Amino acid sequence: MQGLESSSLTNPGRKRSNNEDCYLSLPEQNLWMVADGMGGHEAGEVASDIVRRTLKEQTTSSLQTAIQNAHKAVLSAAAKGIGAEGMGSTVVAMKHWGDHYEIAWVGDSRAYLYTPGQDLEALTTDHSYVQMLLESGAIEPNEAHTHPDKNIITQCLGSQELDEVTVDTLTKSWQDNQWIILCSDGLSDELETSEMSRIIKQCTDVKSVTRELIQAALRAGGRDNITVQAIAAPTTKPGVFSALSQWVPIFTHNRTLDKLIFGTAFLLLLALLYWTFK
């Protein structure tokens, strides 16, 4: 099975000697992820790598389940003296099937949607102190980007006070020629959404998207690690079974399990109708 066209780049930035970001790109499994570690040198990068490895090992699980397991894995590693106590990581991940995609996230790593002819649309809402201020009306949207506490997040994978994290998710249908952008806050802190939108509109493919966004963030200061992934919408029509699968309801957020449940129910219905009208 051929995966979607995608491009992934990471850069330590201009001020950091190490890179606590990491990404996962598995086009054949239709899975992409950006994780932004925290906890200092030899801790943040440990936490984000644990998240990456957990999602890579659990490609058949739902994003919610895999991310919860990554949270537990970070806590377990810290308790065993791997990395450092208090280390953590944000995550934003995407799964694709048929004509649909799912986004899941914890923290302030983000997903954006670019549709030709339109401005860039934020798909995720940060789990952050500034987002809480916005939602309460304490600050205006134009104050958020420069707020002094914009880097304070309200939850992350590895939060010691949380047995489970709140994993936010959304599911949407692809439209032709759309691009999904996943990124760490090293990009979104340096560039306003309007500036990202302007840059993306000038790009012709996903490789130029990741390259130009990272270069722009570096020119703007590059004060943090920067990671960007761009994933293009399907360019060919899915096969018959893939096309039919988009009508399968979401029961568990595990599409393989959803199809099995739906298929079993459908076969039982056919059997019931056969014996009723035989």
What does the pLDDT read at residue 249? 65
Closest CA to 66 of 148, 169, 144, 152: 169
CB of 222 within 8 A of CB of 11?
yes
Provide block-wise average pLDDT over 10 residues at a time, the chain (278 residues): 86 95 97 94 92 97 97 96 94 95 98 97 95 88 83 94 97 97 97 97 97 98 97 72 55 62 83 79
CA distance 275 to 20: 61
What does the pLDDT read at residue 238? 47
| Residue listed under structure tokens 């399907």 | 234
| Residue listed under structure tokens 């952050």 | 128
Q: What Rg value do the Cα atoms of the chain yield, rounded? A: 20
Domains of the chain: 6-236 (3.60.40.10), 248-278 (no CATH)
What's the predicted TM-score (pTM) here? 0.84
What does the pLDDT read at residue 1? 44
